Amino acid sequence: AIAVLGSTNMDLVAYVPKAPRLGETVTGSAFRTVPGGKGANQAVAAARSGGEVVMIGAVGADEFGVRLRSALTAAGVETAALRTVEGASGTAHITVDDEGGNSIIVIPGANGGVTGLEAGDAARIGAADLLLLQLELPMEAVLAGASAARAQGVRTVLTPAPARMLPHELLGLVDLLVPNEHEAAALTGFTDPLGAAEALLREVPEVVVTLGAAGVLYAARGQEPLTVPAPRVRAVDTTAAGDTFVGALAVALGEGRPMPQALRWASAAAALSVQRPGAQDSMPTRAETDAFAAA
Ligand code: ADP
């Protein structure tokens, strides 16, 4: 089983020819509300990949909260540990322009109130094979989750996004770090992925740097680094590609598959997701990933 301690956000997406400047009003072409948040995205990716998934976090007591919870439930994610709290759900206000460029305002809302574990959470984490963490909850909560996992021998996987400096204490509790190349560079100052991965191995035992269309780089202490190329596909929307990758990787590792095989399977899942528009909507089922990985 997989536990996710992380964020749920409603993504409010406005499509415009060009993003408005300060004081300017522009007329856009479309508006969509889509369930998101890195935590929820990873939970959905893992559930679609066939994992038994529990989501720990919070939504607000508003209409978005109801929809965010039902999106998780519909994907098969257990939401008993997703609290409904006073106030607004987390939202991401996204402007997408005609060139595909975007600008984003994230308002944490209910996510910002998650500052630690609640009754039953440590046991939920203890019952899991892996705990998935990201950085859209307050650092106290991420630390509390990682400590609970370590104390119970549960493997922790941290996606260090959005990029920020990490306390040493947190890195010391992480078993597998999965940055994209920008996050890896931000964390280490090394712009080449191999240099960044080697620097990160001083803090964590295993690192996977995701490289977009170039695939992934895996590095572990005392082993030769391994590059797994991504399947060549036509990408239409890479939103949540990284979250799809991590969710699928967690399922494969939780089933005891060896790392190289798990990396290839997760790469297949992520490559399927980039060929479809959307975030959670674009995530493949286990059967789809199996079929694509075998082809
Ligand atoms: P993020 O989405 O977090 O920025 P990446 O861009 O590195 O992270 O993408 C995560 C993973 O998604 C990649 O390692 C790869 O497996 C897959 N992926 C992303 N873009 C493509 C693409 N154009 N073709 C195939 N796979 C892709």
Edge-first strand order for the sheet with 102-107 is: 30-36, 9-15, 90-96, 102-107
What's the gap in Å between 144 CA and the centre of ligand 1? 29
pLDDT at position 69 is: 98
| Portion of the chain with pLDDT greater than 90, in percent | 94
Residue 206 in tokens? 């295993």
216: alpha, beta or left? (left if phi > 0; alpha if psi -120 to 50): beta
C-beta atoms surrounding 124 within 10 Å: 21
CA of 267, closest atom in ligand 1: 16
Residue to probe by mutation, ligand 1, list 49, 104, 157, 180, most atoms within 8 Å of CB? 180
Q: Which of 229, 233, 216, 176 is CA-nearest to residue 200?
A: 176
The kind and range of the H/E element at 4 are strand 2-5
Query: Ligand 1: which residue has its CA nearest to atom 19?
Result: 212
What's the gap in Å between 123 CA and the centre of ligand 1? 33
Q: Which CATH superfamily is domain 2-17+27-294 in?
A: Ribokinase (3.40.1190.20)
Residue 164 in tokens? 């920020």
Confirm if 1 and 254 have CB atoms less than 8 A apart.
yes
In this predicted model, what pLDDT tens digit does every residue of 249-290 receive, in sequence order?
Answer: 999 999 999 999 999 999 999 999 999 888 898 999 999 999
Residue 163 Cβ inside 6 Å of ligand 1? The answer reads: no
CA of 159, closest atom in ligand 1: 3
Q: In the predicted model, what is the mean pLDDT of the chain?
A: 96
| Portion of the chain with pLDDT greater than 70, in percent | 100
What's the gap in Å between 19 CA and the centre of ligand 1? 25
What's the gap in Å between 292 CA and the centre of ligand 1? 16
The CA angle 48-49-51, to the nearest 5 degrees, is 95
Report the alpha-carbon distance of residue 138 to residue 173 in Å, rounded.
16
Residue 213 Cβ inside 6 Å of ligand 1? The answer reads: yes
Residue 239 confidence (pLDDT) above 90: no
In this predicted model, what pLDDT tens digit does every residue of 88-121 receive, in sequence order?
Answer: 999 999 999 988 788 899 999 999 999 999 999 9
Poorest-confidence range of 57-66, 69-78, 194-203, 235-244? 235-244
ipTM score over 0.90, yes or no: yes
Q: Read off the pLDDT of each residue in 232-240 and give the average, rounded to a whole number.
A: 91
Q: Is 237 a catalytic residue?
A: no
Confirm if 118 and 83 have CB atoms less than 8 A apart.
yes
Express the helix, strand and coil content of the chain in percent, nearest 5 each.
40, 25, 40
pLDDT at position 237 is: 87
Residue 73 Cβ inside 6 Å of ligand 1? The answer reads: no
pLDDT at position 213 is: 96
Q: Read off the pLDDT of each residue in 122-149 and give the average, rounded to a whole number.
A: 98
Query: Ligand 1: which residue has its CA nearest to atom 22?
Result: 213
Report the alpha-carbon distance of residue 3 to residue 77 in Å, rounded.
10
Helix 286-294 to helix 259-274 angle, to the nearest 10 degrees?
110
Residue holding tokens 């790392």?
259
Residue 233 Cβ inside 6 Å of ligand 1? The answer reads: yes
pLDDT at position 244 is: 98
E strands along 23-137, which residues? 30-36, 53-60, 82-85, 90-96, 102-107, 130-133
Query: Ligand 1: which residue has its CA nearest to atom 7?
Result: 212
In this predicted model, what pLDDT tens digit does every residue of 9-19 receive, in sequence order?
Answer: 999 999 999 99
The band of 61, judged by pLDDT with boundaries at 50, 70 and 90, is very high
What's the gap in Å between 234 CA and the centre of ligand 1? 12
In this predicted model, what pLDDT tens digit does every residue of 140-195 receive, in sequence order?
Answer: 999 999 999 999 999 999 999 999 989 999 999 999 999 999 999 999 999 999 99
Q: Which of 133, 162, 173, 160 is CA-nearest to residue 43?
A: 133
The band of 204, judged by pLDDT with boundaries at 50, 70 and 90, is very high
142 to each of 138, 159, 197, 204, 236, how far by Cα in Å? 7, 11, 22, 16, 32
Residue 154 in tokens? 């549960």
Report the alpha-carbon distance of residue 102 to residue 13 in Å, rounded.
10
